[in-house]
Amino acid sequence: MMEEMKGGGGMKCPCPHHGVFPALVILFGLLFLGGNLSWWGMGLVDLGWPILVILAGLMKLSSRMCKCC
């Protein structure tokens, strides 16, 4: 399976944990964008980003390595 992914055949790994990092980047972007556009107060941003970092760490600790990793 890994050979197929490295070979450039366009195959993507179906494991859900590979989507965690892109989702967190999007959440960080939305959090800071919303703060800058005054959609919510900067207090939420100041509280929100450490929570996202902690959640990312907890997910990384609890995730199991799949065969493709």
Model-level pTM greater than 0.85?
no
Cα separation, 34 vs 68, whole angstroms: 36
Cα separation, 5 vs 18, whole angstroms: 13
- Enumerate the domain spans of the chain: 28-58
In this prediction, residue 64 carries a pLDDT of 66
In this prediction, residue 59 carries a pLDDT of 77
Backbone angles phi, psi at 64, to 5 degrees: -100, 145
The DSSP code sequence of 16-35 is GGGGHHHHHHHHHHHHHHHH
The DSSP code sequence of 37-60 is TTSS-HHHHHHHHHHHHHHHHHHH
In this prediction, residue 1 carries a pLDDT of 46
pLDDT per residue, tens digit, the chain (69 aa), is: 444 445 455 666 777 777 777 888 888 888 889 888 989 888 888 888 888 888 888 877 776 666 666
